[in-house]
């Protein structure tokens, strides 16, 4: 499996601001939006292009274009929603699927409550968006379920990852490349990433 840490200074700078506990909901959300755009640049690097005939003011030429409709962003609700806007700004033609999972607070196991994908997944490249790769339980469950639809390819994007979650994901889905902005020290007893940034969903939506 490949893990790509996106070390671009713009991403790292914005992530540092997001980690600060006194950052407002508005600012946290805006930063995640911006990081989404920047990470989309890296994640779509291998996106297939096709050559089309165009005319510049001077002459005809063949030039590359991407087919955005072949991309499906798969949002793991609800924190994944925060990533989506920025990604869509860069790939506006993309389709969007949703997977709803909640963590059982006692067992930390992922339980599915929603699943909706576009049709013809076998023709699409799926990019799963889940900002926190913590225990890995929901990431593994989301990709297990997504694989049932047989997308052409799958990539997984998180903002922050814990070593434990990465190891678990790697064990279950060695074929799925992971992109993240940072790999933090560890999980705490409640399954939170430390030092981390707290509960991503609560910080995006201002629910705490």
Kindly list the catalytic residues.
Answer: 103, 107, 199, 202
Binding mask 64-103 for ligand URA (x = CB under 6 A): ---------------x------------------------
Indicate the residue among 33 and 70 with the shorter CB distance to ligand URA.
33
Smallest distance from ligand URA to CB 137, Å: 10
Q: Is 199 near ligand URA (CB under 6 A)?
A: yes
Q: Please give the size of the binding site for ligand URA, defined by CB under 6 A.
A: 10
Cα-based distances in Å from 80 to 9, 43, 55, 57: 23, 15, 40, 42
Q: Is 36 near ligand URA (CB under 6 A)?
A: no
Using CA atoms, how far apart are residues 73 and 86, in angstroms rounded to an integer? 11
Residues in region 128-187 near ligand URA by CB under 6 A: 132, 134
Using CA atoms, how far apart are residues 79 and 28, in angstroms rounded to an integer? 12
Among 80, 86, 136, 196, binds ligand URA (CB under 6 A): 196
Q: Which residues bind ligand URA (CB under 6 A)?
A: 79, 132, 134, 191-193, 196, 199-201
């Amino acid at each position: 499996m490949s893990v790509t840490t996106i070390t671009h200074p713009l991403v790292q700078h914005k992530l540092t601001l997001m980690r600060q506990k006194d950052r407002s909901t508005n600012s946290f959300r805006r930063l995640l939006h911006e990081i989404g755009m920047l990470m989309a640049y890296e994640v779509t690097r291998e996106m297939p292009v096709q050559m089309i005939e165009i005319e510049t003011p001077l002459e005809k030429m063949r030039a590359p274009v991407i087919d955005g409709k072949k991309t499906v962003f798969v949002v793991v609700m609800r924190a994944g929603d925060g990533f989506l806007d920025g990604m869509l700004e860069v790939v506006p033609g993309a389709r969007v699927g949703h997977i709803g999972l909640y963590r059982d607070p006692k067992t930390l196991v992922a339980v599915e409550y929603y699943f909706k994908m576009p049709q013809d997944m076998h023709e699409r490249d799926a990019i799963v968006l889940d900002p926190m790769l913590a225990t890995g339980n929901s990431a593994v469950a989301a990709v297990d379920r997504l694989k049932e639809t047989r997308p052409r390819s799958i990539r997984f994007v998180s903002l922050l990852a814990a070593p434990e979650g990465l190891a678990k994901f790697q064990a279950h889905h060695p074929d799925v490349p992971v992109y993240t902005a940072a790999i933090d020290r560890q999980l705490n007893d409640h399954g939170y990433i430390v030092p981390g940034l707290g509960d991503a969903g609560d910080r995006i939506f201002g629910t705490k």
